[in-house]
Amino acid sequence: MSADVSVEKALRLAVISDDVAAFGTLIGQNADLKRLCYGRFPLESLLILYGAKKILRTFRPSTEDYVFVEEYPADYLRFKREAGAALRLYIGGKTVPPDEMALICGMRVPESAFAENGERLNEVYRLRARKNLKKDGSGKYRAPVSRKPDKRQLYTVVCCLITAIIFLGAASGLMGFVATSYGDGSAMAPALVNTADKLTGTISQNPGAHIEITSDFTLNISSDYSLPFSGYIDGGGHTLTMTGDYYLDPFAEAAALGRIDNLTLQYADFHSVYSGSVRRIVLDNDVTLSANSVNGISLTSSFDGAGHTVTVTDFSGKSLFDELNAYIKNVTFDFGKIRSSYTANGGFLANVNNSRIENVTVIASGYMEELSAGTDVYFGGFVYENRGTISSVTASIQLELISDFSINGSQGNSYFSGIAGINSGTVSNAATTEDSFIESTTLDVSGIVSDNSSGAVIENSVNRASISTASASVMWSPNAAGVVLNNYGTVRDCFNYGAVTADSTAEVSESDTSRPAVYLGGIAAQNAASVLRCYNGADLSSTSVGALPFVGGIVGLNTCSAGESAITSCIAHGAIEVNTELETGNFLSGIGGIAGMLQPLGGSKITLTDSFSLMTLNANNSSLSVGGILGSLDSRQGYYGYGFSGDAGECLFAENRGAEFGIAYVLYYDMLGILRLGVYEPGAAPAEEITAKESYWYEE
């Protein structure tokens, strides 16, 4: 059985409120819900914990194995208060059986339970009550029995209580009034609150109080509010209307502990809903937010934009949030026209995403300048680093970017991507809009991600933004790609429709022993892992004076230093245009319909299989290595298993194999370091056959 999260939550709420009707309806719809175990708490134990006596009268638990679902922190906190020293018996999330829960909570435990499990129950009771259970004549433990007073004793007790109440009332009328009418703020006697004054007064006198809200009211808080609260609030389903200049969480400390429940705060343009360990912010209107007012805080509450737009003002190059530690969805962040500089890793929305971003749009246009010295700097249209999930998001960006490689003697690289600088999680169904563009000087640029880490995934994502980058630095040459700059993980089912250009105007002497290189790919600039079922439908171009070009319809440079790397089932359309003024000499270059160059290192294996190219390849220099599928192959490491074969499924096809260059040339170094020219002609397929194959995943 796999229970729906909303059903699990509804059942738990029915337990807490002892709602027999709601509980019966849910169980009636799915009898297997009787088997639910919320973390360490089976459903029957949860009923006992919350004292749901009405439900317990009719509830018959399942005898089948438990189905474990997520534990609510609020349940644990309540159990912790009840269990006392007995809590040590349940460390590590050990299950709390109903009989043991009943003993802890002071409810009746059947004698049969003591006959079957007396030693364990005695251990629970001893830790909870600091004494052992009594035994019967046969040496078996007996259930604890509370002594009921006889009539005379009961009369005496009642008289004493009446006398005590009268005495206390005479001694301090106000104290007696507060204690009897509103509670003392303890767990057993929560402070009952129905006005703003009572709420703030209770918190002021007892920041750890247990509070029960009994009605709706208005709470006015100024922007300098700083009253700490770490207690517990049962909102009772009520709403506090917030006024004043305070828009943050007035109960932040307690909310982080999961100790605000069933309460709504209504602000001017949004409302916050508290439910145990979850605080959910929901927009009611479009809002305007100054980036300075957020000041890089971490978002710990789930955020639902409900389709509204957050207009962000005063953006200065620093991420709106430091970390996203909660779900954010259904919202547009419009940064408008910006002009800023930045010196550290960042993203328009956040530095780091640890949770889930879904159905979110980021809009930005203008100018940004990277001014860091001596370090690599990444900037993403959404985040610097994604450690969670980014799904169904859109970047609408029209930006001019500048990074001066020589500033302050800097030797660091600068990277910009439409979605995430570094992806360590999953990016799925991400897209840039057709009117987006990124024009940069001395930056490496990609449409979706800059670095895709080992184990990370980019899937079903589309770049439509036009991308261009250029550099005049001899020490630095630009790289560009439609989807990802450097792939060490998995890229699958991705598309590029945006024209990609990378130019290097730095002059290099013919006698130089090393030369800069430009890596340019429709999908990836450099791939060291897996590129699967991807499509490029855009033109690629590179102009260089002294840099060596490596340009591929799918991948510019495919390298691998350990294990295996692959380009599989990919298709490339469009044209590649390469112009360079420098003869390559003994240096490698590579322009290919699928890959510019394959470079296995250290005994690794690279496969390039079942991929098709209809690209037109144009190069102005006869010294460049150009091939319809592969531009060049560097075998200096002495490994020859590249996945090339005539076997079905591994054969490479090319309708247009390099314009005037004819067959697919392979320029490579042999094991002796001698430069050789090889010919690889695996066969040809008509354009109709290639088109039929690509229709499997082609996106218009």
**Quick one: 13 and 58 in the same domain?**
yes
**Quick one: 117 and 162 in the same domain?**
no
Nearest to 69 by CA among 98, 100, 46: 46
Nearest to 254 by CA among 218, 300, 293: 300
Buried b (16+ CB within 10 A) or exposed e, 389-419: bbbebbbbbbbebbbebeeeebebbbbbbbb
Is 91 within the bounds of a domain? yes
Is 608 within the bounds of a domain? yes
In sequence order, the 6+-apart residues with CB closer than 8 A to the CB of 116 are: none
Q: Can you tell me the distance from the alpha carbon of 482 to that of 523, in angstroms, rounded to the nearest whole number?
A: 5
Last residue of a domain, one of 273, 291, 309: 273
Q: Sorting pLDDT into bands at 50, 70 and 90, what band is 411? A: low
Is 144 within the bounds of a domain? no
**Quick one: 163 and 191 in the same domain?**
no
The count of structural domains within the chain is 4
Q: What is the CATH number of the domain that holds 492?
A: 2.160.20
Please tell me the pTM assigned to this model: 0.68
**Quick one: 191 and 175 in the same domain?**
no
* Bridge partner residues of 598 (DSSP): 558, 633
Give 80-118 as a DSSP string. HHHHGGGGGGGGGG----HHHHHHHTT----HHHHHHHH
Last residue of a domain, one of 252, 273, 294: 273
Whether the per-residue pLDDT at 689 is higher than 80: the answer is no
The H or E element that residue 266 is part of is: strand 260-266
**Quick one: 587 and 663 in the same domain?**
yes
Looking at residues 63-78, what average pLDDT do you find? 86
The count of other CB atoms within 10 Å of the CB of residue 469 is: 27
Looking at residues 343-367, what average pLDDT do you find? 96
**Quick one: 573 and 659 in the same domain?**
yes
**Quick one: 190 and 91 in the same domain?**
no
Is 454 within the bounds of a domain? no
**Quick one: 688 and 611 in the same domain?**
yes
Is 56 within the bounds of a domain? yes
Is 295 within the bounds of a domain? no
Q: How many CA atoms lie within 13 A of 439 on its CB side?
A: 7
In sequence order, the 6+-apart residues with CB closer than 8 A to the CB of 226 are: none
Q: For residues 532 and 573, is the Cβ–Cβ distance under 8 A?
A: no
Q: Can you tell me the distance from the alpha carbon of 317 to that of 292, in angstroms, rounded to the nearest whole number?
A: 11
Last residue of a domain, one of 239, 273, 307: 273
**Quick one: 582 and 674 in the same domain?**
yes
Counted residue by residue, the chain has a size of: 700
Strands ordered across the beta sheet of 36-38: 41-42, 36-38, 67-69
Whether the per-residue pLDDT at 42 is higher than 80: the answer is yes
Q: Sorting pLDDT into bands at 50, 70 and 90, what band is 598? A: confident
Q: What is the reported pLDDT for 175?
A: 35
Is 445 within the bounds of a domain? no
Q: What is the reported pLDDT for 47?
A: 93
Q: For residues 535 and 571, is the Cβ–Cβ distance under 8 A?
A: yes
Is 519 within the bounds of a domain? yes
Q: What are the backbone angles phi and psi of residue 450, rounded to the nearest 5°?
A: -85, -65
Q: Can you tell me the distance from the alpha carbon of 59 to that of 90, in angstroms, rounded to the nearest whole number?
A: 25
The count of other CB atoms within 10 Å of the CB of residue 59 is: 17
Q: Can you tell me the distance from the alpha carbon of 686 to that of 203, in angstroms, rounded to the nearest whole number?
A: 78
**Quick one: 679 and 559 in the same domain?**
yes
The count of other CB atoms within 10 Å of the CB of residue 502 is: 31
Looking at residues 276-304, what average pLDDT do you find? 87
Q: What angle do CA 192, 194, 197 make, to 5 degrees?
A: 100
**Quick one: 158 and 62 in the same domain?**
no
Q: Sorting pLDDT into bands at 50, 70 and 90, what band is 472? A: confident
**Quick one: 165 and 31 in the same domain?**
no
Whether the per-residue pLDDT at 241 is higher than 90: the answer is yes
Domain of 57, in residue numbers: 5-129
Q: What is the reported pLDDT for 312?
A: 96
